[in-house]
Chain A
Amino acid sequence: MGKSGEVNVLDERKQFILFKNDGGCSGNGIKCDSDSVSGAVSQRACVYCGARVVLNPITDAYHIVHGPIGCSSYTWDIRGSLSSDSDLYRNSFCTDLRETDVIFGGEKKLIAAIDELATKQEAKLIFVYATCIVGVIGDDVEAVCKNMSKKHGIRVIPVKSPGFSGNKSTGYKMACNAIMQLLLPYRIEQKIEGVNILGDFNLAGEMWIIKNYLDKIGVNVVSTFTGDANYKNMLEAPKATLNIVQCAGSSVYLANRMEEEFSIPFIKVSFFGVEDTSSSLVRIAEALKNEEAKKKAIAFSNEESLKLEGFLDRYRKNLRGKKVAIYVGGGFKAISLIKQFNFMGMKTVVVGTQTGKKDDYEIIEQLASEDAVILDDANPAELETFIKEKGADILVGGVKERPLAYKLGIAFCDHNHERKHALAGFEGVDNFTREINQSINNPMWQYIKENKTLECGKECSL
């Protein structure tokens, strides 16, 4: 393979890119889990963003952003996590620090803000996100939170999330630490058989799909993190006998800490695609040593898979041989997606993640098509180069990638916060396949291609 892509790649970025058929496997593998390179147009966000996306779905909490307004306004109700009850989390609360606060410190304003909430809005749980400048101007957010908890008899939990203090993964950790701080006083010896679901954010109601499956196979769900979570229910979590982790990138750390503190073991699961959904259900039953549930899981999965077979056969003709580029947040999601595309008969030719870990990339390397290129923390120039070079027909990504795909004249599917339909579980396979099909086979793409041929004047069919 000619590595024409090199022209568009910064020297410092080269070790973050791996060409599968280029002997990459024998070397030291891909460099990942590092800081972004200054000056690169990275698609990656910051510590605050990581912390916020993990905690935000907690529905009845007040999420107060302590800092200037921006961090609060950019994260106001942008994640499609659904709630079965409170809608508090869909509002934006901010101390909106001003010049005088920067000079004299922002603690006074934070205290006033919490007072305004606690006395007038009957708050029970408040998360205070410390953003970039809070530490620099010397605010002791932890002390304020402690004092305010005492004063109002509520829980006020600090989230240490200055943007510069690492990358998005650091933010996930900070969010998990905040959750642990909330749970630690509720260490309970008495267990109830059942699971906590970690790392699902109830986008388009996906948590409800998973809960419904577990209900069907007779597995009790104790608590959820953080999709459709609420204060009261979260406090039940220490009682669970097993944690199942869907989004490993954000929540394995939480699972580890819960194992240490509450002795709850965990398994990683994925509910994306028929294969992963079926095996996850069986593995949950096995981990609980619940033979009855295992039997039900197998029967249920077989039944659901069968229902989908005819459906998938109908679409496979449309999709077979099409090439896919994937650019998502975590490595585990990328792995599930490659498996799903393999199942549809499609080839994954470009795979990138923002926060993938070394072992994720090893699995990705095995699963992706033989001439795939694998990128960590890719920038648009790299994405564009490899999408073109590999001739991808569709890009799967998030909000910043959508218009890039469209400009290049290829199809797109949002597998991030802006997903239009639930993509988890067996229902998700149906939705996902339809979405891929409706974008990739839409007749309007011909106008972009025609335009090209008109310009080159050769293959013009008009």
Chain B
Amino acid sequence: MLNYTPKEMVEREALVINPCKTCQPVGALYAALGVHGCLPHSHGSQGCVAFHRMYLTRHFKDPIQASSSSFTEGASVFGGGSNLKTAVKNIFDLYDPDIVAVHTTCLSETIGDDLNALLIDITPTLSEGKYIVHANTPSYFGSHIHGFFNMVNGFMKYLSVSTGTSNGKLALFPGWLNPGDYRELKRLMTQMNVPFIMLPDTDGTVDTPTTGEYTMYEKGGTTIEEIKSLGDCKSSLGIGLTISAPSVGFLDKKCKVKGDTIPYPIGIDATDAFILKLQEFSAEEVPASVENQRGHLVDMMVDTHQYTYEKKVAIYGDPDFVIGMMALCLELGMIPKYCITGTPSLTFEQEGKSLLEKYGVKEECKVQAATQLNTTTDLFLLHQWIKNDAVDLLIGGTHGKHIARAEDIPLVRAGFDVIDRYCHSYFPVVGYEGAMRMVEKITNALMDYQDSHCEEKDVEMVM
């Protein structure tokens, strides 16, 4: 029934069908949820924030709170300044956050609201110890990934300062991950004895323990004091070339904190690179517990290698996530036949090609990102490719399930957004821990497929 995509390739430039991205504001909203005591605020129509909250609620299965300037006809003609002022007053009266993080929308950007000027007016009206910051996140540029790093930079723009005294910490920009990933990154940094400030951090804000009590501002999130102190960090590390390099650059420019960016630590090599960066910082030995974990991962790869070798996989989603999964799949001997992202990324295709070269992949593989002008790199295109030359496995978010069903290909859900399964956001894909989880998921998907599709005489008890 859902097999509507025609096999015959069609040239498209204007029409995006089944997008592999969404708009900037939701990225800004998610980044703001990773700050303690923060209420994200959408400066636009009421619907934007309703959609964003729904999108994030469906992924995290947790309450997601954010407010809106609730634009009306009047605001779209005369500007949304008075809406924002009313909104800020109402927000502090009723919800009493420590900080409000405003992001713009296509509407407020198009009518030309000057948020810098508005915040200069509003800031003096706030009570002591309360903050308001903003980021420009026009929906017609980039994708949700741009919205995410624009908001991260927005926090730093307003808050981070260099006092001249180093705090001796590492500034870590982790990119857009699940709370389970943020927890794993923090665990690894703690194990490696690296003092750190991580922005943002949704561990404990979108996966709160259920106790029967509900508070709007949960225990987790990067604190305002920590964001201020980012300017005094010894150095910075961004993970994710597309999503975190802009923040590494911003902190360097504003506070002269030097830094480096590496790919998401997904798979064994990228996690090694992350651990080595941490070791460089702490100048200490890698503890046995981390070495052991790596050993467990290698053990699993050895045990499963015959099931994954030369299996073809299509990976779709956010650029850094796709590159990470591509690396992991190559380590398992798989062929990353199609790798796409709808996010315009300057580094994506180069990163992907380097990985293919590194593993000497002979098979022709497609690695494609949307550009700022032509954004038709979407799941419709991926489906057409698959129809013309099939793969054994799909890795990505929920929206690939139509392809999975139409083509009868197993789908391993990972990345954003996963809205048709539960529990996933509590577990990592990063680090050795995350790689172990992915090895299990990938192998199980392939083996389950074999069990349900092989001829009856071939059903094996021991595999």
| Contacts from A to B (Cβ < 8 Å) | 8-10, 12, 35-49, 64, 67-78, 83, 86-88, 90-102, 109-110, 112-113, 115-117, 120-121, 131-133, 136-137, 162-167, 380-381, 384, 399-400, 402-404, 406-409, 448-449, 451-452, 455
**Residues 220-245 of B contacting A (Cβ, < 8 Å):** none
Please name all residues of chain B whose beta carbon is closer than 8 Å to the beta carbon of A45 when the two chains form the complex: 46-47, 50-51
Give Cα A402 to B211, complex, Å.
16
B444 within 8 A of A: no
Give min CB distance, A444 to chain B, whole Å.
Answer: 10
Give Cα A182 to B327, complex, Å.
51
Say whether B23 contacts A68, CB under 8 Å.
yes
Say whether B14 contacts A44, CB under 8 Å.
no
Give Cα A6 to B50, complex, Å.
25
Partner of A41, one of B6, B67, B72, B84: B67
Say whether B58 contacts A399, CB under 8 Å.
yes
Say whether B90 contacts A37, CB under 8 Å.
yes
Give Cα A354 to B354, complex, Å.
52
B105 within 8 A of A: yes
Say whether B140 contacts A102, CB under 8 Å.
yes
Q: List 20 A-B contacts (CB under 8 A).
A: A10-B93, A10-B94, A38-B84, A38-B90, A39-B67, A45-B47, A46-B48, A69-B21, A71-B51, A74-B22, A87-B4, A98-B141, A102-B138, A132-B44, A132-B76, A399-B57, A407-B214, A448-B210, A449-B212, A451-B212
Say whether B18 contacts A404, CB under 8 Å.
no
B298 within 8 A of A: no
Say whether A97 contacts B140, CB under 8 Å.
yes
Query: Who on chain B is nearest to A382 by CB?
Result: B94
Query: Who on chain B is nearest to A398 by CB?
Result: B54
Say whether B16 contacts A163, CB under 8 Å.
no
Say whether B16 contacts A400, CB under 8 Å.
no
B281 within 8 A of A: no
Say whether B110 contacts A133, CB under 8 Å.
yes
Say whether B50 contacts A43, CB under 8 Å.
yes
B120 within 8 A of A: no
Query: Who on chain B is nearest to A88 by CB?
Result: B4
Give Cα A207 to B83, complex, Å.
41
Say whether A381 contacts B216, CB under 8 Å.
yes
B462 within 8 A of A: no
Say whether A101 contacts B140, CB under 8 Å.
yes
Chain B 26-50: CB-based contact to A (< 8 A → 1; otherwise 0): 1000000000000001001111101
B372 within 8 A of A: yes
Say whether B91 contacts A163, CB under 8 Å.
no
Partner of B50, one of A44, A68, A92, A162: A44
Given A41-B67, A46-B48, A136-B110 in contact, is the A99-B90 Cβ separation under 8 Å?
no
Say whether A39 contacts B140, CB under 8 Å.
no
Give Cα A120 to B71, complex, Å.
38
Give Cα A344 to B41, complex, Å.
41
Say whether B50 contacts A113, CB under 8 Å.
no
Given A94-B15, A98-B372 in contact, is the A42-B63 Cβ separation under 8 Å?
no
Please name all residues of chain A whose beta carbon is closer than 8 Å to the beta carbon of B58 when the two chains form the complex: 399
Give Cα A442 to B16, complex, Å.
44
Please name all residues of chain B whose beta carbon is closer than 8 Å to the beta carbon of A131 when the two chains form the complex: 106
Say whether A136 contacts B76, CB under 8 Å.
yes
Give min CB distance, A151 to chain B, whole Å.
Answer: 15
Please name all residues of chain B whose beta carbon is closer than 8 Å to the beta carbon of A100 when the two chains form the complex: 373
B279 within 8 A of A: no
Partner of B212, one of A116, A120, A409: A409
Say whether A165 contacts B73, CB under 8 Å.
yes
Partner of B51, one of A70, A117, A408: A70
Most buried by A among B15, B61, B107: B15
Say whether A132 contacts B105, CB under 8 Å.
yes
Say whether B95 contacts A41, CB under 8 Å.
yes
Please name all residues of chain A whose beta carbon is closer than 8 Å to the beta carbon of B89 when the two chains form the complex: 39
Chain B 96-129: CB-based contact to A (< 8 A → 1; otherwise 0): 0000000001110011000000000000000000
Chain B 70-84: CB-based contact to A (< 8 A → 1; otherwise 0): 111101100000011
Given A37-B70, A72-B19, A97-B140 in contact, is the A406-B50 Cβ separation under 8 Å?
no
Say whether B94 contacts A381, CB under 8 Å.
yes
Give Cα A117 to B16, complex, Å.
11
Please name all residues of chain B whose beta carbon is closer than 8 Å to the beta carbon of A87 when the two chains form the complex: 1-2, 4
Partner of B106, one of A42, A133, A400, A449: A133
Give Cα A2 to B94, complex, Å.
20
Please name all residues of chain A whose beta carbon is closer than 8 Å to the beta carbon of B413 when the two chains form the complex: none
Please name all residues of chain B whose beta carbon is closer than 8 Å to the beta carbon of A406 when the two chains form the complex: 210
Most buried by A among B13, B68, B141: B68
Say whether A35 contacts B212, CB under 8 Å.
no
Query: Who on chain B is nearest to A122 by CB?
Result: B6
Say whether A46 contacts B10, CB under 8 Å.
no
Query: Who on chain A is nearest to B214 by CB?
Result: A407
B160 within 8 A of A: no
Give min CB distance, B78 to chain A, whole Å.
Answer: 12
Please name all residues of chain A whose beta carbon is closer than 8 Å to the beta carbon of B54 when the two chains form the complex: 74, 78, 399-400
Say whether A451 contacts B139, CB under 8 Å.
no
Please name all residues of chain A whose beta carbon is closer than 8 Å to the beta carbon of B18 when the two chains form the complex: 76, 91-92
Give Cα A166 to B71, complex, Å.
9
Give Cα A213 to B180, complex, Å.
49
Query: Who on chain A is nearest to B376 by CB?
Result: A96
Give Cα A448 to B213, complex, Å.
9
Given A46-B45, A109-B14, A403-B63 in contact, is the A39-B86 Cβ separation under 8 Å?
yes
Partner of B70, one of A42, A95, A133: A42
Give min CB distance, A37 to chain B, whole Å.
Answer: 6
Please name all residues of chain B whose beta carbon is closer than 8 Å to the beta carbon of A78 when the two chains form the complex: 54
Say whether A93 contacts B90, CB under 8 Å.
no
Query: Who on chain B is nearest to A450 by CB?
Result: B212
Query: Who on chain A is nearest to B417 by CB?
Result: A73
Please name all residues of chain A whose beta carbon is closer than 8 Å to the beta carbon of B55 when the two chains form the complex: 74
Say whether A113 contacts B65, CB under 8 Å.
no
B399 within 8 A of A: yes
Partner of B46, one of A96, A98, A163: A163
Say whether B72 contacts A164, CB under 8 Å.
yes
Say whether A98 contacts B140, CB under 8 Å.
yes
Please name all residues of chain B whose beta carbon is closer than 8 Å to the beta carbon of A137 when the two chains form the complex: 110
B87 within 8 A of A: yes
Please name all residues of chain B whose beta carbon is closer than 8 Å to the beta carbon of A166 when the two chains form the complex: 73
Please name all residues of chain B whose beta carbon is closer than 8 Å to the beta carbon of A75 when the two chains form the complex: 51
Please name all residues of chain A whose beta carbon is closer than 8 Å to the beta carbon of B138 when the two chains form the complex: 99, 102
Partner of A40, one of B94, B140, B212: B94
Please name all residues of chain A whose beta carbon is closer than 8 Å to the beta carbon of B107 when the two chains form the complex: 132-133, 136, 163-164
Give Cα A8 to B73, complex, Å.
29
Give min CB distance, B58 to chain A, whole Å.
Answer: 6
Say whether B15 contacts A95, CB under 8 Å.
yes
Give min CB distance, A186 to chain B, whole Å.
Answer: 27
Give min CB distance, B319 to chain A, whole Å.
Answer: 16
Given A38-B87, A164-B107 in contact, is the A99-B141 Cβ separation under 8 Å?
yes
Please name all residues of chain B whose beta carbon is closer than 8 Å to the beta carbon of A117 when the two chains form the complex: 15
Given contacts A72-B16, A99-B140, A384-B214, 13 further A-B contacts (CB under 8 A): A38-B68, A38-B69, A39-B68, A42-B50, A70-B23, A71-B47, A88-B4, A116-B11, A136-B110, A381-B94, A406-B210, A408-B212, A448-B212
Say whether A96 contacts B375, CB under 8 Å.
yes
B88 within 8 A of A: yes
Please name all residues of chain A whose beta carbon is closer than 8 Å to the beta carbon of B111 when the two chains form the complex: 136
Say whether B46 contacts A42, CB under 8 Å.
yes
Give Cα A98 to B14, complex, Å.
10
Give Cα A8 to B214, complex, Å.
14
Given A116-B15, A409-B212, A452-B211 in contact, is the A90-B90 Cβ separation under 8 Å?
no
Give Cα A73 to B21, complex, Å.
8
B402 within 8 A of A: yes
Say whether A35 contacts B72, CB under 8 Å.
yes
Please name all residues of chain A whose beta carbon is closer than 8 Å to the beta carbon of B69 when the two chains form the complex: 38-39
Say whether B53 contacts A400, CB under 8 Å.
yes
Say whether A96 contacts B90, CB under 8 Å.
no
Please name all residues of chain B whose beta carbon is closer than 8 Å to the beta carbon of A43 when the two chains form the complex: 50
